[in-house]
Protein backbone atom coordinates (compact mmCIF):
# COMPACT_ATOMS: atom_id res chain seq x y z
CA UNK A 1 0.00 0.00 0.00
CA UNK A 2 1.22 3.51 -0.81
CA UNK A 3 1.06 6.49 1.51
CA UNK A 4 -1.63 8.33 -0.46
CA UNK A 5 -3.77 5.20 -0.47
CA UNK A 6 -4.12 5.63 3.28
CA UNK A 7 -5.79 9.03 2.91
CA UNK A 8 -8.01 7.83 0.10
CA UNK A 9 -9.06 4.71 1.98
CA UNK A 10 -9.83 6.81 5.04
CA UNK A 11 -12.26 8.92 2.98
CA UNK A 12 -13.87 5.74 1.64
CA UNK A 13 -14.24 4.34 5.16
CA UNK A 14 -15.81 7.57 6.49
CA UNK A 15 -18.30 7.49 3.65
CA UNK A 16 -19.14 3.85 4.31
CA UNK A 17 -19.72 4.52 7.98
CA UNK A 18 -21.93 7.54 7.33
CA UNK A 19 -23.96 5.62 4.78
CA UNK A 20 -24.73 3.04 7.46
CA UNK A 21 -25.26 5.51 10.31
CA UNK A 22 -25.32 9.30 9.84
CA UNK A 23 -24.57 9.89 13.52
CA UNK A 24 -21.69 7.38 13.72
CA UNK A 25 -18.98 9.98 14.37
CA UNK A 26 -21.23 12.12 16.58
CA UNK A 27 -21.62 9.10 18.85
CA UNK A 28 -17.92 8.26 18.66
CA UNK A 29 -16.90 11.77 19.65
CA UNK A 30 -19.00 11.71 22.83
CA UNK A 31 -16.32 9.75 24.70
CA UNK A 32 -14.95 6.33 25.33
CA UNK A 33 -15.87 3.51 27.68
CA UNK A 34 -13.90 0.54 26.37
CA UNK A 35 -14.41 -2.74 28.20
CA UNK A 36 -10.95 -3.98 27.28
CA UNK A 37 -7.37 -2.95 27.83
CA UNK A 38 -5.19 -4.68 25.28
CA UNK A 39 -1.44 -5.02 25.74
CA UNK A 40 0.09 -6.52 22.64
CA UNK A 41 3.12 -6.65 20.40
CA UNK A 42 3.90 -3.78 18.02
CA UNK A 43 4.03 -6.24 15.12
CA UNK A 44 2.17 -4.84 12.08
CA UNK A 45 0.26 -8.11 11.69
CA UNK A 46 -1.58 -7.70 14.97
CA UNK A 47 -4.38 -5.18 14.48
CA UNK A 48 -6.59 -6.55 17.21
CA UNK A 49 -9.70 -4.65 16.05
CA UNK A 50 -9.52 -6.43 12.71
CA UNK A 51 -8.91 -9.86 14.22
CA UNK A 52 -11.89 -9.48 16.56
CA UNK A 53 -14.15 -7.56 14.16
CA UNK A 54 -14.38 -4.76 16.73
CA UNK A 55 -15.46 -1.18 16.26
CA UNK A 56 -13.50 1.89 17.45
CA UNK A 57 -14.08 2.38 21.17
CA UNK A 58 -13.65 -1.30 22.08
CA UNK A 59 -10.00 -1.43 23.10
CA UNK A 60 -7.74 0.85 25.09
CA UNK A 61 -4.35 -0.16 23.74
CA UNK A 62 -0.70 -0.34 24.67
CA UNK A 63 1.74 -2.04 22.35
CA UNK A 64 5.47 -2.60 22.47
CA UNK A 65 7.97 -5.10 21.08
CA UNK A 66 7.09 -8.58 22.37
CA UNK A 67 4.26 -7.29 24.63
CA UNK A 68 6.35 -6.60 27.70
CA UNK A 69 4.95 -5.45 31.05
CA UNK A 70 7.72 -3.72 32.98
CA UNK A 71 6.84 -2.26 36.33
CA UNK A 72 9.23 0.65 35.66
CA UNK A 73 7.80 1.49 32.22
CA UNK A 74 6.03 4.83 32.75
CA UNK A 75 4.25 4.65 29.40
CA UNK A 76 2.75 1.26 30.15
CA UNK A 77 1.99 2.12 33.77
CA UNK A 78 0.13 5.29 32.90
CA UNK A 79 -1.93 3.47 30.26
CA UNK A 80 -2.65 0.70 32.73
CA UNK A 81 -3.53 3.06 35.56
CA UNK A 82 -5.84 5.16 33.39
CA UNK A 83 -7.53 2.02 32.07
CA UNK A 84 -8.05 0.56 35.53
CA UNK A 85 -8.81 3.69 37.58
CA UNK A 86 -10.57 5.98 35.12
CA UNK A 87 -11.99 3.83 32.36
CA UNK A 88 -12.63 0.95 34.77
CA UNK A 89 -12.00 -1.65 32.10
CA UNK A 90 -13.50 -5.04 32.83
CA UNK A 91 -10.80 -7.06 31.14
CA UNK A 92 -7.06 -6.74 30.66
CA UNK A 93 -5.67 -8.84 27.83
CA UNK A 94 -1.97 -9.47 27.37
CA UNK A 95 -1.43 -10.91 23.93
CA UNK A 96 1.62 -12.36 22.31
CA UNK A 97 1.73 -13.91 18.89
CA UNK A 98 3.50 -16.76 17.19
CA UNK A 99 6.26 -15.84 14.77
CA UNK A 100 7.19 -12.88 16.97
CA UNK A 101 10.39 -11.17 15.82
CA UNK A 102 11.14 -10.07 19.38
CA UNK A 103 10.96 -13.62 20.68
CA UNK A 104 13.11 -14.92 17.81
CA UNK A 105 15.75 -12.23 18.33
CA UNK A 106 15.89 -12.90 22.06
CA UNK A 107 16.30 -16.63 21.41
CA UNK A 108 18.84 -16.36 18.63
CA UNK A 109 20.61 -13.41 20.17
CA UNK A 110 20.81 -11.61 16.83
CA UNK A 111 19.04 -9.12 14.63
CA UNK A 112 18.88 -6.58 17.44
CA UNK A 113 20.05 -3.02 17.69
CA UNK A 114 21.50 -2.09 21.07
CA UNK A 115 18.27 -0.65 22.44
CA UNK A 116 16.10 -3.51 21.24
CA UNK A 117 18.59 -6.05 22.56
CA UNK A 118 18.35 -4.37 25.93
CA UNK A 119 14.56 -4.32 25.77
CA UNK A 120 14.53 -8.07 25.09
CA UNK A 121 16.83 -8.97 28.00
CA UNK A 122 13.93 -10.14 30.22
CA UNK A 123 12.90 -12.65 27.51
CA UNK A 124 16.44 -14.03 27.49
CA UNK A 125 16.02 -14.48 31.22
CA UNK A 126 12.74 -16.38 30.70
CA UNK A 127 14.58 -18.62 28.21
CA UNK A 128 17.38 -19.31 30.72
CA UNK A 129 14.94 -20.02 33.54
CA UNK A 130 13.06 -22.56 31.41
CA UNK A 131 16.07 -24.03 29.62
CA UNK A 132 15.35 -27.59 30.76
CA UNK A 133 11.77 -27.63 29.41
CA UNK A 134 12.75 -25.84 26.21
CA UNK A 135 15.68 -28.15 25.46
CA UNK A 136 13.26 -31.08 25.35
CA UNK A 137 11.32 -29.50 22.47
CA UNK A 138 13.07 -30.69 19.33
CA UNK A 139 11.37 -28.54 16.72
CA UNK A 140 12.66 -24.97 16.72
CA UNK A 141 9.33 -23.47 15.72
CA UNK A 142 7.57 -25.35 18.57
CA UNK A 143 10.28 -24.14 20.98
CA UNK A 144 9.76 -20.53 19.91
CA UNK A 145 6.00 -20.99 20.30
CA UNK A 146 6.53 -22.20 23.87
CA UNK A 147 8.76 -19.21 24.67
CA UNK A 148 5.99 -16.98 23.32
CA UNK A 149 3.56 -18.60 25.77
CA UNK A 150 5.99 -18.43 28.70
CA UNK A 151 6.52 -14.76 27.91
CA UNK A 152 2.77 -14.05 28.13
CA UNK A 153 2.56 -15.95 31.44
CA UNK A 154 5.42 -13.87 32.84
CA UNK A 155 3.72 -10.61 31.82
CA UNK A 156 0.43 -11.72 33.40
CA UNK A 157 2.30 -12.23 36.65
CA UNK A 158 3.71 -8.71 36.41
CA UNK A 159 0.21 -7.26 35.88
CA UNK A 160 -1.13 -9.01 38.98
CA UNK A 161 1.76 -7.66 41.06
CA UNK A 162 1.06 -4.00 40.23
CA UNK A 163 -0.46 -2.49 43.42
CA UNK A 164 -3.31 -0.51 41.83
CA UNK A 165 -4.39 -3.55 39.81
CA UNK A 166 -4.28 -5.70 42.92
CA UNK A 167 -6.29 -3.13 44.89
CA UNK A 168 -8.91 -2.87 42.17
CA UNK A 169 -9.31 -6.66 42.13
CA UNK A 170 -9.57 -6.71 45.93
CA UNK A 171 -12.32 -4.10 45.89
CA UNK A 172 -14.52 -5.61 43.19
CA UNK A 173 -14.96 -8.25 40.56
CA UNK A 174 -13.00 -6.50 37.82
CA UNK A 175 -10.64 -6.41 36.05
CA UNK A 176 -10.29 -9.96 34.81
CA UNK A 177 -6.84 -10.69 33.43
CA UNK A 178 -6.41 -12.81 30.29
CA UNK A 179 -3.47 -14.18 28.35
CA UNK A 180 -3.74 -14.63 24.61
CA UNK A 181 -1.62 -15.83 21.78
CA UNK A 182 -2.58 -14.68 18.35
CA UNK A 183 -1.80 -17.62 16.11
CA UNK A 184 -0.75 -15.63 13.13
CA UNK A 185 -0.49 -18.76 10.96
CA UNK A 186 -4.21 -19.44 11.25
CA UNK A 187 -5.59 -16.08 12.36
CA UNK A 188 -7.02 -17.59 15.55
CA UNK A 189 -6.87 -16.33 19.12
CA UNK A 190 -5.68 -18.91 21.64
CA UNK A 191 -6.42 -18.33 25.31
CA UNK A 192 -3.53 -19.17 27.62
CA UNK A 193 -4.47 -20.88 30.85
CA UNK A 194 -2.53 -19.85 33.90
CA UNK A 195 -2.33 -21.53 37.31
CA UNK A 196 -4.74 -19.28 39.23
CA UNK A 197 -4.90 -21.41 42.40
CA UNK A 198 -1.12 -21.80 42.55
CA UNK A 199 -0.58 -18.08 42.01
CA UNK A 200 -3.09 -17.38 44.79
CA UNK A 201 -1.06 -19.64 47.10
CA UNK A 202 2.11 -17.84 46.02
CA UNK A 203 0.53 -14.48 46.88
CA UNK A 204 0.59 -13.27 43.27
CA UNK A 205 -3.18 -13.21 42.77
CA UNK A 206 -5.59 -11.84 45.42
CA UNK A 207 -7.52 -14.65 47.06
CA UNK A 208 -10.93 -13.25 46.00
CA UNK A 209 -10.03 -13.30 42.30
CA UNK A 210 -12.25 -15.33 40.00
CA UNK A 211 -12.00 -15.50 36.25
Active site residues: 41, 43, 45, 97, 100
Please, what is the minimum distance in Å from the beta carbon of residue 97 to Zn ion? 6
Residue of 37, 39, 41, 144 interacting with Zn ion (CB under 5 A): 41
Give strand pairing partners of 183: 188
Site string for Zn ion, 53-92 (x = CB under 5 A): ----------------------------------------
Question: 42 near 21, Cβ under 8 Å?
Answer: no
Q: Is 43 in the site for Zn ion (CB under 5 A)?
A: yes
How many angstroms separate the CA atoms of 140 and 165, rounded? 36
Q: Which is nearer to Zn ion, 42 or 198 (CB)?
A: 42
**CB 177 to Zn ion: min, Å:** 20
Identity of the residue, 45 or 173, whose beta carbon is nearer to Zn ion in the bound complex = 45
The span from the CA of 125 to the CA of 121, in Å, is 6
CA–CA distance, 18 with 6 (Å, rounded to integer): 18
Shortest approach of Zn ion to residue 96 CB, angstroms?
7
CB of 135 to Zn ion, least distance (A): 23
Residue (41 or 169) nearer to Zn ion, CB: 41
Q: Which among 125, 131, 126, 204 has a CA at the least distance from the CA of 165?
A: 204
Cα angle for residues 206, 176, 25 (degrees, 5° grid): 145
CB of 188 to Zn ion, least distance (A): 16
Instruction: Identify whether the C-beta of residue 127 lies closer than 8 Å to the C-beta of residue 134.
Output: yes
Tell me which stretch binds Zn ion (CB under 5 A): 27-35, 40-48, 56-64, 174-182.
Answer: 40-48
How many residues bind to Zn ion according to rule CB under 5 A?
4
Closest CA to 161 of 77, 65, 45: 77
Tell me the window of 18-26, 33-41, 68-76, 151-159 that interacts with Zn ion (CB under 5 A): 33-41
Site for Zn ion in 91-120 (CB under 5 A): 100, 102
Considering the complex, state which of residue 57 and residue 101 has its C-beta at the smaller distance from Zn ion. 101
Q: Could you tell me which residues come within 8 angstroms of residue 65 by beta carbon, excluding any fewer than 6 positions away? A: 41, 42, 101, 102, 116, 119, 120
Q: What are phi and psi of 169, to 5 degrees?
A: -65, -40
Contact residues for Zn ion, defined by CB under 5 A: 41, 43, 100, 102
Amino acid sequence: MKYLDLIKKNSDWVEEKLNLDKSYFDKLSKGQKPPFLYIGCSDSRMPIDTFTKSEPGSFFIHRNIANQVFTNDMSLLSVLEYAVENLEVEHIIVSGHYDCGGIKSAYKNDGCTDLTGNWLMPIKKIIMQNREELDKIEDLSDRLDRITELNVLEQLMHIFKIPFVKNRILSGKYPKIHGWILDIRHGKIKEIEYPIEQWKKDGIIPINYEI
